[in-house]
Structure 1
Amino acid sequence: MSKTLKRNDYKTLSLSSLGGALEFYDFVIFVFFANYISRNFFPSDLSDFWKLLNTYGAFAAGYLARPLGGIIMAHFGDKLGRKKMFMLSILLMVLPTFSLAFIPTFETIGYFAPIFLLLVRIAQGIAIGGELPGAWVFVKEHAPNGKDSFYVSAINASMAFGILLGCVVALVINHCFDQESIYDYAWRIPFAIGGLFGIISIYLRKFLEETPVFQKMHQENSLEKFPLKALFKEKNIFFDIIASMLLTWMLTACVIILILLMPNFIPEVLALDKTDAILIQMIAIVILSCGTLLAGIWVDKFGFLTTSLIFTIGFSLSCFFYFYFFYAQILHLSIYFYFIASFFGGINALAPILMCKIFKPSIRFSGISFSYNIAYAIAGGFTPQLVFILHSLAIKPENPFTYGIFIYILILSIATLITAIVAYKRLRF
């Protein structure tokens, strides 16, 4: 469908992006206060290592729950419309986020506290499982021909804004309260704010309009009765799913490792205070957003393969130098290469761009949601713990091997490039 965006389309895309950013804030604010949560929700006689590992495990549980919500919402998104699933995902996010502001701690209710914490993360995972795939499909079906990659990448950039918003809130909390007050009660404030953001998102999404692609399919009666079943009847579907999952795996590395976890390690390794680490993280998020947008622009202009080659090489090299200088505790060079790696972290846009191109409209939501959420459940389920363990080994004085996290990223970069080459040869885009 060839068309140019009208003023109302820009409004629709803006509201979609903003609502998604606010919902993503609700999901990721957990990791910004992981240290405080670990102290409040696990036994005091546990070592700090096991407290944090369990907390990151609860964080990962949100990723494990994604397929359930994502696949179910995608099924109805392909049958009933994209907008209705947008409204459902935010409703499912608001309640568990609000609950974290009030859940009693381990000191009050014992082992029920970590159980409730786990249930909250599972509920959030179910909600977020349908959010990103729905947003990608939504903007893809509003974008004019030849600019769809840019619009899809803009959704990823706007989701990064949700992380940035989390950084701002974390910075304010750390500035306004001392550490003991944060441990006692102030860590709950961001979750209360997240609940309010959720209400704002619900209101904003009332103004969204259904995509013209879905409206056309509905008018032509070409909707699938069971989209997920129809998905697996498609020719070469297993290649499409595997390619999508591999690129999603790379997306997890960009977001979880660079943006969510590494800033938590910066104060410990580089001897910076928490406020400085949050400021560095905020700058990195802005840079990542710029790289993400540029990746989308370049795919539209130069093609998927060329863009993939540039970003995989740039991401691998910059990550190598970043981890080398980081664990060598060379402050300025490590921060410099951290920012460069964040820019090439724009490689995260390749996953949704590929998925939006290879799945046809009638099964697009289901195809993207199945591939993305299964891959994210697997990779997101073990990445936080793996990175935490590799980091713990890297900072030990007796351990000369400090490239564990980089090797993990390098493997993903190679897989991404191979996938891009094969996809180009088969699809020619």
Structure 2
Amino acid sequence: MTAIDSRKRLIGAMASTLGNVLEWYDFVVFGFLSIIIAKQFFPSHSEYAALMLTTATFGAGFVVRPLGGILLGMYADRKGRKAGLTLVIAMMTVAAAMIALTPGFQQIGLIAPAIVLCARLLQGISAGGEFGTATAMLIEYAPTARRNLYGSWQMFAQALGALLAVAMGSALTHLFTHEALESWAWRIPFLLGLLIGPVGFYIRRNLPETEAFQKLGARVKVPFSRVVMHYPRELFVATALSAALNVMAYVIITYLPIYAVQNLHMPVTLPFSVLLASVLLRVVTIPLFGHLADRIGGERLIRVALALFLVVLYPAYYWIVNAPSFASIMSVELGFALLISASNAPIPTALAGLFPTEVRSTGLAISYNIGAAVFGGFSPMVLTWLLHVTGNNMMPAHFCAVFFALGLIGAFMLKRRAAPVNEFATQ
């Protein structure tokens, strides 16, 4: 196969990131509408019980992510990146349709929450396979000199999906009454999200396979057990960095504004403003840091960003705990957003470089989804419990410091690679 031209590289990059946009769009929208969804599918005499059932259903998607990552990662390593990504986007689309189109509890009874639970499980499995396979394809498509920029598209897509969801949430609250939202308008963002699915499926289905995968030819595909046994160091490094990355997403970005309301007694309007500003900043700066990483080295940028995070983490939290205000919390969140962009932009490329082509999707999927499911998705719940038990408002700083230090250790172990650089796509 001849070298992939610039247009095909661009299409491949767009196709690889569409799933991440849809995943994070659905994630934020579901969280934003969780109270309304609770009333639609989990009616109860206790509003708290209904919300807890909705939260548990949402969390079920995280529980199955590692399993989905392993199964779909192995599928992509055996059948190809194109086949893996096409299957993932199809599963995501079906799951989104199940949530968008399922009648409420009053119409079909217990079948309604059962369908929503199945949809969340399907979303979790598909999301588990998305990051590893999409990152493998992005990096294998990328020209050597722009590999970090291409890899940063994964993190850009996550920020873009969150931004679209925040914008949709704002539009819903301004355009519809509360009664309309509870009756039918809550389905609109899920229906609009469905538009991404068919487009992504069409583009992915018509992609050429990456050269790096095609060069494997008839080579024996590596089973899952050998990935774990032969690449334990690489899996540790990738999991450590993935844990830090996901703690940033779920604690710093998602949980910090809520923590400011619940524990620092800030106005309830604060989370939306802070989240919107921080996501906008990440959308703008992630590609810029991806470009910078190609100039100075991705591993160096990760180390510097994580080290700076550890330096400013405690002073920043001390400031907002002892002088809570809109200005202090917004300043801290925007400063953190810059460090998140700097560290996140080169991480996909760094992780992909740890594994050779024949196990790249599987290795990425295992490590990233352990980080997402264990250390990321359940972080807000763990922090809520820790704050309740200890009464220490600095607990989020302690929690983040542990995982950022772990990530920094992983970053210093990146210098030894399982996969040589020239194994990726040609110039």
> TM above 0.5, one fold?
yes
Task: Call closer, same or farther: CA 1:286–1:243 in 2, change over 3 Å.
Answer: same
- How many equivalent residue pairs? 416
Superposition deviation, residue 248 in structure 1: 1.0
Alignment partner, residue 243 of structure 2: 249
Structure 1 residue 414 and structure 2 residue 405: aligned?
yes
Partners in 1 of 2:69 and 2:287 — Cα distance? 25
Alignment partner, residue 370 of structure 2: 374
> Which of residues 286, 301, 326 is equivalent to 1:331?
326
Superposition deviation, residue 41 in structure 1: 3.9
Task: Call closer, same or farther: CA 1:91–1:311 in 2, change over 3 Å.
Answer: same
Task: Call closer, same or farther: CA 1:42–1:326 in 2, change over 3 Å.
Answer: farther
In the alignment, is the contact (CA less than 8 A) between 1:87 and 1:205 conserved in 2?
yes
Alignment partner, residue 424 of structure 2: none
Structure 2 residue runs of 5 or longer lacking an equivalent are: 422-427
Alignment partner, residue 61 of structure 1: 60
1:376 is aligned with what amino acid?
A
Q: 1:97-154, CA deviations, whole angstroms, 9 ceiling, x for partnerless residues?
A: 1221233445566666544433221110111111111110011101122432221122
Superposition deviation, residue 318 in structure 1: 4.7
SS in 2 for 1:217: coil
Task: Call closer, same or farther: CA 1:85–1:211 in 2, change over 3 Å.
Answer: same
Alignment partner, residue 286 of structure 1: 280
Alignment partner, residue 312 of structure 1: 306
Task: Call closer, same or farther: CA 1:122–1:248 in 2, change over 3 Å.
Answer: same
Task: Call closer, same or farther: CA 1:272–1:381 in 2, change over 3 Å.
Answer: closer
Alignment partner, residue 36 of structure 2: 36
Superposition deviation, residue 360 in structure 1: 0.6
Task: Call closer, same or farther: CA 1:277–1:5 in 2, change over 3 Å.
Answer: farther
SS in 1 for 2:208: coil
Structure 1 residue runs of 5 or longer lacking an equivalent are: none
Q: 1:54-90, CA deviations, whole angstroms, 9 ceiling, x for partnerless residues?
A: 4333222211111222211221211111111111111
Alignment partner, residue 136 of structure 2: 137
In the alignment, is the contact (CA less than 8 A) between 1:77 and 1:365 conserved in 2?
yes
Task: Call closer, same or farther: CA 1:45–1:158 in 2, change over 3 Å.
Answer: same
Q: 1:157-187, CA deviations, whole angstroms, 9 ceiling, x for partnerless residues?
A: 1222111111111111111123343234322
> Which of residues 288, 297, 300 is equivalent to 1:303?
297
Partners in 2 of 1:310 and 1:320 — Cα distance? 17
1:132 is aligned with what amino acid?
F
Task: Call closer, same or farther: CA 1:207–1:260 in 2, change over 3 Å.
Answer: farther
Task: Call closer, same or farther: CA 1:324–1:190 in 2, change over 3 Å.
Answer: farther
Task: Call closer, same or farther: CA 1:306–1:145 in 2, change over 3 Å.
Answer: same
Structure 1 residue 384 and structure 2 residue 375: aligned?
no
Superposition deviation, residue 290 in structure 1: 4.2
Partners in 1 of 2:121 and 2:98 — Cα distance? 13
Alignment partner, residue 183 of structure 1: 182
Alignment of 1:66-145 (within 5 A): 66-106=65-105, 113-145=112-144
Partners in 1 of 2:224 and 2:38 — Cα distance? 39
Note the aligned Cα RMSD (angstroms). Answer: 3.1
Alignment of 1:120-269 (within 5 A): 120-218=119-217, 221-222=218-219, 224-232=220-228, 234=230, 237-264=231-258, 269=265
**Alignment TM-score, normalising by the size of structure 2:** 0.86
Partners in 2 of 1:39 and 1:257 — Cα distance? 27
Task: Call closer, same or farther: CA 1:103–1:249 in 2, change over 3 Å.
Answer: same
Task: Call closer, same or farther: CA 1:418–1:144 in 2, change over 3 Å.
Answer: same
Percent identical across equivalent pairs?
Answer: 27
Partners in 1 of 2:199 and 2:5 — Cα distance? 26
Partners in 2 of 1:58 and 1:385 — Cα distance? 14
Task: Call closer, same or farther: CA 1:54–1:20 in 2, change over 3 Å.
Answer: same
Q: 1:23-61, CA deviations, whole angstroms, 9 ceiling, x for partnerless residues?
A: 44234421222232234444544364x554543332222
Partners in 1 of 2:384 and 2:181 — Cα distance? 23
Partners in 1 of 2:182 and 2:308 — Cα distance? 39
Superposition deviation, residue 241 in structure 1: 0.7
In the alignment, is the contact (CA less than 8 A) between 2:281 and 2:334 conserved in 1?
yes
Partners in 1 of 2:329 and 2:32 — Cα distance? 21
Partners in 1 of 2:2 and 2:239 — Cα distance? 29
2:329 is aligned with what amino acid?
S
